[in-house]
Structure 1
Amino acid sequence: MRTAAVATQAPPRVESSRPAPSAPEHAEERELVFGGFRYTCRIVRQGAPQTEPLLLLGGSSQDRHSWQSHEKWLAPLCTLITVDLPGYGSSDFLPASYGIGFLGDAVQHMLTEIGVPSVNLFGGCFGEVVGLRFAQRHPDSVRRIVFGAAASRLPEPYSEAVPRLTQTLERGDIEGAAEGLVRLFMSNPEAGKVRRHAAVARLLQRQFVNQTQDEIRKAVEHNIRLVTHGCYEPLPVPRVPTLVFTGEYDTLCTPDMGRELAATMPGALFTTVKEADHLVTVERREESADLIARFVTDRPVDGLPYCDEVEVPCPGTLALAQA
């Protein structure tokens, strides 16, 4: 097991009506083993937290370092935890025979190992798939839930693209696969105004083209895992404050699919972020960080200038102070 300290970032601006938050103490990395597979988590500790630790589970192309650009807004509020689960990032390769339940249990293993009894959970895209299964299997470990760019079923464009992308990668046509992945994740520019659309498209293209052979192998296995096991099981969901959001122009996990997901969790809130698509947390970093921060610190999320109206797709008995 390794622990490494790194420098922290400066705290962000805060609302004048709230006390200035404390700067995060330091970041460390822990190397762990679950089910025989090595994996690594990153912890940015906050000595004077305003809420429970925030666990950030990103998409399949993101790793434990992908959220560092959000830290300046989130780390002053609470301890942050990111992770390369088995099969992703720099962690060990995980055969597709291991499903989503295994990954959800790996999340619980990590929290137990690092001594964190409960978290605020954020899951984006594939991170929602793992996060929801983790919450269903370990409900006592979750205090609040935020899901972004998420759905309760595999998007049809993804299911259709997987065989084609897999064949393209197996042929060694990395450029072709990268172009296909950019088209899959990003909206058509004619759909509506999306912040930083061209810049994010170039960023994704470079990221996909520069993948190592290990990353490509894991990406192929990830696609097989999702198609084989699916992404949703109708298990009970913890009755905790929950928010689902997506970009208003998300063509992969559409707003209607986000509403469907929110409807499976009584009392969950749903909203769309303006001028964004599936890559909402990249295109609108500050706004998405602010939305997450508000929700996990029990501040209102209605009436925000960067969001559309807040909805409650499935009203329930759970009282949510955020609405």
Structure 2
Amino acid sequence: MADSLAVEQVRQFSYRGYEFACRILECPSPVTEPIVVMCAAFQNIRSYHRYDAYWQDAATVICMEPPGSYSPDPVPRTVGYGFDAGALAYLLDELGLPRVNLLGVSLGTAPTHRFAQMHPERIARLMLTGAVWGDTVRPAAVAFERWLRLRRADEFGRTMVELCVNGDPTRTVRNREAVQRALLDHLSTASESEMVRYLAVAQRMVDHPMTLPGRISGMPALCVTGEHDELAPPDLVRRVAAGISGAVFTTIRESCHVSFLERNADWADLVLRFFTDRPLAGLDYLTGLEHPAGRPGHDETAPSAW
């Protein structure tokens, strides 16, 4: 049962002239470091409200939107994701948080990954879910950019839904139709100001790599994606995990890119289990656990193990 003493606050910040907000749900008696969520593209700090009941008794929950996401002046396309990672470091300093559990979702995995390269000592545990990387996301971003330039919110929404929710009838996806309707209703009714901001997001996706060279080490890490995710396919996310020392890779059964909507209770349970050091083996909603870079303390050139 959720702790009735948990208190919510929304705070506004400015990083190098770009506004952003974070939503904080304070846990009176945490059992682990704060959970900091870097929101995905086209989300905001309210997008994770549904998970309060799962997480708020274990940790303070902080949801951060990327700088400029909901301000009149979006971050320009010339700026890479190191800027967002810098904003995250600034936020943690402002909140007085030396170490956190860090969760990156979809496009939010780009600044999260960069932050882990820059500040590994500040991460207690790292979780990347639906990491959109390289060639899988750039063609999609080009399509987003086209429709947003034309101010065609209907086509933008349709394209997003087709990419995020696997429509192949031979693949089992939980709550497919309901999630498709909800996403389409939300995205295809974007306002003029929202499309301006979304366009800036799409342009940065086209112009900048999701990650920069360099291994990540020094913290437990979990990389997860949907079993049928076509935007962040399992083979690609497995390669992301291989670049993080000791990382675990897995997929969520019967889900795709928006597993946090299709199997929201299971996704929230996985996040909480990982950030509180509970076992992940044998969970019926996961396909299995792999160590693409080798188990901690083992030869990281060894083949993947279950």
Structure 1 position 295, deviation (Å): 0.7
Residues 197-225 of structure 1 deviation map (CA, whole Å, 9 limit, x = unaligned): 00100111111112122221111111111
Trace 1:25-36 onto structure 2 (pairs within 5 A).
Answer: 25-36=6-17
C-alpha contact 1:49 1:77 (8 A) present in aligned 2:
yes
1:91 offset after TM fit, Å?
7.5
Task: Decide which of 66, 69, 82 is 1:88's aligned counterpart.
Answer: 69
**Residue in structure 2 matching 1:106, options 80, 87, 98:** 87
Q: Deviations over 1:43-72 (max 9, x none)?
A: 100111010000111210111110000110
CA shift, 1:311, in A, is 0.8
String of CA shifts for 1:114-164, please: whole Å, max 9, x gaps. 11111001111111111111111122211101111114x3243x3223333
Counterpart pick for 1:79 among 54, 60, 76: 60
* Alignment map for 1:189-204 (pairs within 5 Å): 189-204=168-183
- Which of 225, 229, 232 is residue 253 of structure 1 equivalent to? 232
Match of 2:106 in 1: 125
2:287 maps to 308
Residues 91/32 of structure 1: CA separation in 2 closer, same or farther (3 Å cut):
farther
Secondary structure at the aligned position of 2:169 is classed as helix
For residues 142 and 92 of structure 1, do their structure 2 counterparts lie closer, same or farther at Cα, with a shift above 3 Å needed?
farther
Question: Are 2:22 and 1:41 aligned?
Answer: yes
Counterpart Cα distance in 1 of 2:135 and 2:262: 21
Matched, 1:154 2:134: yes
Q: Does residue 288 of structure 1 match 2:290?
A: no
Which residue does the alignment assign to 1:168? Answer: 147
Counterpart AA for 1:63: N
TM alignment of 1:7-26, pairs within 5 A: 11=2, 22-26=3-7
Pair 24,93 (structure 1): closer, same or farther in 2 beyond 3 Å: farther
Match of 1:228 in 2: 207
Structure 1, unaligned runs of 5 or more: 1-9, 12-21
Per the normalisation by structure 1, the TM-score is: 0.88
Q: 2:162 aligns with which of 171, 175, 183?
A: 183
1:273 and 1:307 in contact (8 A); partners too = yes
Over the aligned positions, Cα root-mean-square deviation in angstroms equals 1.7
Structure 1 match to 2:118: 137
Aligned residue in 1 for 2:194 = 215
CA distance in 2, matches of 1:217, 1:318: 48
**Which contiguous aligned blocks of 4+ residues in structure 1 show a shift greater than 6 angstroms?**
none
Deviation at 1:314, TM superposition (A): 1.0
Q: Quickly say closer, same or farther: Cα 1:90–1:189, change in 2 above 3 A.
A: farther
Report the secondary structure of 2:134's partner residue.
coil
Report the secondary structure of 2:225's partner residue: strand
Partner of 1:268: 247
Unpaired segments ≥5 residues, structure 2: 299-305
Rounded to whole Å, the distance in 2 between the matches of 1:76 and 1:211 is 34
**Residues in 2 aligned to 1:308 and 1:221: alpha-carbon distance in whole angstroms:** 36
Give me the TM-score of the superposition, normalised by structure 2. Answer: 0.93
SS at match of 1:220: helix
Distance 2:75 2:109 in 1: 19
Q: Distance in 1 between matches of 2:17 and 2:76?
A: 12
Residues 1:211 and 1:114: Cα distance change in structure 2 (over 3 Å):
same
Identity %, equivalent residues? 30
